[in-house]
Structures are given as C-alpha cells and as structure tokens.
Amino acid sequence: MRTTVGIIGAGPAGLLLARLLHGAGIDSVVLEARDRAYVEHRQRAGILEQGTVDVLRAAGAGARMDREGLRHDGIELRFGRRRHRVDFPALTGGRSVMVYAQTEVCKDLIALQLAEGGPLLFGAEALAVEGAGTATPRVRFRHQGREDVLECDYVAGCDGFWGVSRAAVPAEVSRVFERRYPFGWLGVLADVPPSHDELVYARHDRGFALLSMRSPSVSRLYLQVPEGTEPEEWSDEDVWRELERRFETDDGWTLARGPLTQKSVTPMRSFVHEPMRHGRLFLAGDAAHIVPPTGAKGLNLAVGDVVTLARALVHRRETGSAALLDAYSETCLRRVWQAERFSYDMTTLLHRAPDATAFEDRLQLARLERIASSRAARTDLAEAYTGFPLDLPRSEGRAAAAGANGRSPAGSGRVPGRSWFEVPR
C-alpha cells in the first residue's frame, strides 16, 4: 500500500489532518488500532478554543458542532465561598470557547472521512515506523490478521502517548520534560442539567472541583482526589456530598443532583518530547505532549499541531520549499510550551497539594484575588484560555503559506469560512 501521508491514529489529530489534506488534494491513509465503536465512544475533553472552532468550520466539520455545541463566553472562579466571572469576549476582542465533546468531534470527522476522504482502516495496529530518517519512510501494521506495509512520503504520528511513533525518534536526539502531580481527577457524568450555564473552577481547602457539562441535560463534574484513587472508592452519595462542600457559596447557590452514569479517574501530568520531528516523521498531539486537563488544552494543542503540519505540506507541494516542514517542531513547540505554562499555572492555582503549607495556601488565595481584582490579570487568563495563535515560523511569516496576495494557494481546496491558512488574531 502506498500514500503521500501515512497517519497513525484516528483521534481528533489524525482525523483532522486527513480532512485538511483531503481538502488540499493531498492523499493520505489513516491507520487506527481500535474499532470504530471504541473511537466514537471514548470519553475525552470537550472544550474547544476559538481557533479550533474556526478550523473545524473551515474544514466542513462544524455543522453539528454549531447546532449542538454550547458557546461559552466565560468561566467562573470560585474561592472563599465567593464567585468571580471572567468575561472572555470583553477581554479578548470577542473570542469565546465551545463545549463540544471530543467524541462528537471524532464522530463528525469519521463520517466525513468515510464519505469523502481517503482510506481509514480500523483495527489496523501500527507495529513500527521504519526509515523515518530517509526519503522513504514505512509503517508496518497488522490488519485483519496479517501484516502489511504502508509506504509513504511522510508519516504523521498521531497515536497518543502509548503509540509506536515516538519510539522511532532516536534516543540520542530525544529530550523529555515531565512533571507528575500527586493528585488526579475523579470525573463523573450525571443525568442532570448543569447547575450553572458556564464552567465553574473552584478552589477549596479540601481540594479542587470543576463543574462542566456535556449537553443541556448532562453534567460533567470533577473532584481532586489523591493519586492512585480508584473510582469505586467513592459512592454516589460521597461524590455529591463532596461536590456540594467544594462549590458552596455565601449567596445561596445550590448544586442539582442526579443519577451518576459514569465514574473514572484521570491522572495528572505534564509531558513534552523534543523534537516533534525526525526526518519525515512528525509527532502530533499526545504523542508529543500532554498537559493536565485544568487548562483544557490537550485537544486544542493537537489541532494546532496538525494545522501547522498541513500548512507545511501544502506549502511544500505548491512552492517546492521545505522551510515550513523543517520548522515544524520549533513552530509547534512555541505554542506547546505556552500551553504547558498555562496548564501548570491553572493547576497550581486551583489544586491543593497534599503537603501544602499555610504560606502556600495564602499565596494561592492572593493569586486568585489578583485575578478577581485586576483586568490585566483576567485578560492574561482569558487570552490563554480561549487559545494561543496558530503561528507560522518567524522566518516565513504569514505570506509564505497564504501567498503574496494573501489568499490560499491554488488547489488548496479552501472551503467557505476562515481559512486554516490564516493565523487567528
């Protein structure tokens, strides 16, 4: 089997990359180890930055998102039994976020790929990336009980933290940066309308809590729990009682209860692998970086990676220049490290460490008071939360990918709406 771009992984990164390449007339094959039902039902984050929303719309994958997603114009910070709203559009020049689950993004992109795009093989387990440093990389994979080889010009490793792609980067050129946190999130789904119309981030002496939602009738809630906690350690009554404690306010706000339909525990860690490119292998999404979920950056970083890669591949085809491909890792990592910084700041701002001192507790409260009282501090948070720009390399500038006249290159398959070649302002 042969293609221009071999994509390992049918999560949002791999599926969106395939969609963008299809629109630009570049062929690809997507290999996914799991079956379709698994991919379409695995629960993941659901906060889409403004730039991610724009890209999905431009790629023709935004219709159901716009019908069913929930636009949010702010978040609430809750501490000391008081409530403080951060107004995104007022602080960012109009940007907002969208609540739309990653599972739904994957469903939309899978349907489009199967209807219009190149091959998408479920149950195709990638075994190894070979020849990444050569002009003829290959992906060995197993599908329907037999081994096969996908020959490519380029390989996109979108196969997550545990995938095979990152292992193809030689150890002597790899650098890993990592931090593990001594707590996790107990997440629950509840069949009850959300108790607030925007996300609530609560800092409490007993630990962090988050009120989120999946739809107008389904709530998604989280509790900070010790590292190593198992979901079954918490009864439904224990979950609701603890949530009520951590969200409690002095103004009579109440938390609505309902049946819990799912419980899971998410570990918390920060991870970055440098570089994100080796030869003709390009790492994207969780294969290259992980953030704690506090900043809602994981899915959005993956989108930034594949937009950067798609731009670079189209630029190579249209101009013959490999400059954007050569700059892929540097370009992505600038954005990745800003997201890592923001996610770390949000995590340390809102979670109580098991060994926290009274001094550290007061510093947390002082940081929160600064955000509540300072427009400049709220602006910094709002700009980061709604999304960092999808930058082009410093040396290339915007015109390199868009062309001297500011339009998308010929044959790029631009669809109505914001072009994914543009740098969001």
Q: Name the residue with tokens 């098991």.
A: 354
pTM (whole model) above 0.95: no
The larger pLDDT score, comparing residue 93 to residue 390, is at 93
Is pLDDT above 80 for 10?
yes
pLDDT at site 407: 34
293 assigned to active site:
yes
Residue 167 pLDDT class (50, 70, 90 cuts)? very high
pLDDT at site 396: 42
Helix (H) / strand (E) element for 116: namely helix 102-116
- Residue tagged active-site, from 12, 194, 292, 293: 293
Among 43-47, 67-71, 401-405, which stretch is predicted with the lowest mean pLDDT?
401-405
User: What 3-state DSSP class applies to 349?
Assistant: helix
Mean pLDDT, rounded, for 98-124: 95
Spatial neighbors of 135 by CB under 8 A, at least 6 apart, are 153, 280
pLDDT at site 399: 39
pLDDT at site 398: 39
Residue 82 pLDDT class (50, 70, 90 cuts)? very high
Angle subtended at Cα 37 by Cα 298 and Cα 5, rounded to the nearest 5 degrees: 60
Q: What proportion of the chain, given as a percentage, has pLDDT over 90?
A: 89
Contact 155, 4 (CB under 8 A): no
What residues does 138 pair with on adjacent strands? Answer: 130, 151
pLDDT at site 42: 80
pLDDT at site 113: 96
pLDDT at site 393: 55
Mean pLDDT, rounded, for 378-405: 66
- Residue tagged active-site, from 12, 22, 72, 292: 72
Residue 160 pLDDT class (50, 70, 90 cuts)? very high
Q: Name the residue with tokens 């329907």.
A: 144
pLDDT at site 412: 35
- Residue tagged active-site, from 154, 181, 328, 385: 385
Is pLDDT above 70 for 132?
yes
107 assigned to active site:
no
Domain ranges of the chain: 5-70+99-178+269-352
201 assigned to active site:
yes
pLDDT at site 391: 64
d(CA 393, CA 334): 10
Peptide bond before residue 193 is cis, with ω within 30 degrees of 0: no
Is pLDDT above 80 for 406?
no
Is pLDDT above 70 for 392?
no
d(CA 184, CA 378): 26
- Residue tagged active-site, from 297, 328, 351, 393: 297
d(CA 298, CA 291): 6
Backbone dihedral angles phi then psi of residue 324, each to the nearest 5 degrees: -70, -35
Is pLDDT above 90 for 418?
no
H-only helix segments in 249-404: 298-319, 323-326, 328-350, 358-373, 375-386, 397-402
d(CA 298, CA 340): 10
pLDDT at site 376: 98
Is pLDDT above 70 for 55?
yes
Structure tokens at 129: 């990336």
Torsion region of 289: left, alpha or beta (phi above 0 gives left; psi -120 to 50 gives alpha): beta
pLDDT at site 388: 86
pLDDT at site 58: 95
d(CA 419, CA 259): 43
Is pLDDT above 50 for 230?
yes
Dihedral sign of CA atoms 214, 218, 224, 225 in order: negative
38 assigned to active site:
no
What residues does 65 pair with on adjacent strands? Answer: none
Is pLDDT above 90 for 330?
yes
DSSP assignment of 242-291: HHHHHH--SS---PPP--EEEEEEEEEEEEEEE-SEETTEEE-GGGTEE-
Q: Which superfamily does 5-70+99-178+269-352 belong to?
A: FAD/NAD(P)-binding domain (3.50.50.60)
- Residue tagged active-site, from 100, 154, 181, 201: 201
Mean pLDDT, rounded, for 358-385: 97
